């Protein structure tokens, strides 16, 4: 089934550790995104990529980095995790960067707890 695969599904991490959340899509979408979802807040954009080789900062980029080596993969890295990064992380994609009425397709999410 075409879509987005995220890994891990959930992870408990000690503060200060490095963590990479993986995201792979098989829809050949050009644009990919990372969002975080926290209780009482709407989804917030962390980073995005318009196409392979390019990335951009979203609303809450501090403490996170991304890379886009190819069309399908868009990993999110926390270089040194802090408790405020405890959240549910969603990877998403769309055919093009969010102009017009592009539909966003989301992965199932990665629940991260930083202790």
Q: Which residues bind other proteins (CB under 8 A)?
A: 4, 40-45, 90, 92, 97-109
Closer of 48 and 64 to other proteins (Cβ):
48
**Max Cα–Cα distance, the chain, nearest Å:** 41
Report in angstroms how near the CB of residue 107 gets to other proteins at its nearest. Answer: 5
Q: Which is nearer to other proteins, 5 or 84 (CB)?
A: 5
Task: Report CA dihedral (93, 96, 101, 105) to the nearest 10 degrees.
Answer: -10
Cβ at position 10, least distance to other proteins in Å: 10
Cα separations in angstroms, 31 against 10, 98, 106: 24, 8, 12
Query: 10 Å Cβ neighbour count for 76?
Result: 22
User: Whose Cβ is closer to other proteins: residue 5's or residue 80's?
Assistant: 5
């Amino acid at each position: 089934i075409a879509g987005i695969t995220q890994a891990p599904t959930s992870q408990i991490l000690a503060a200060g550790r490095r963590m990479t959340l993986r995201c792979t899509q098989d829809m050949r979408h050009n644009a990919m995104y990372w969002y975080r979802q926290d209780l009482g807040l709407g989804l917030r954009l962390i980073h995005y990529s318009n196409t392979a080789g390019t990335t951009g900062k979203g609303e809450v980029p501090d403490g996170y980095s991304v890379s886009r080596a190819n069309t399908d993969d868009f990993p999110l890295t926390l270089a040194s995790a802090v408790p405020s990064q405890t959240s549910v992380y969603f990877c998403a994609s769309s055919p093009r960067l969010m102009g017009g009425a592009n539909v966003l397709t989301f992965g199932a999410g990665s629940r991260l707890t930083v202790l």
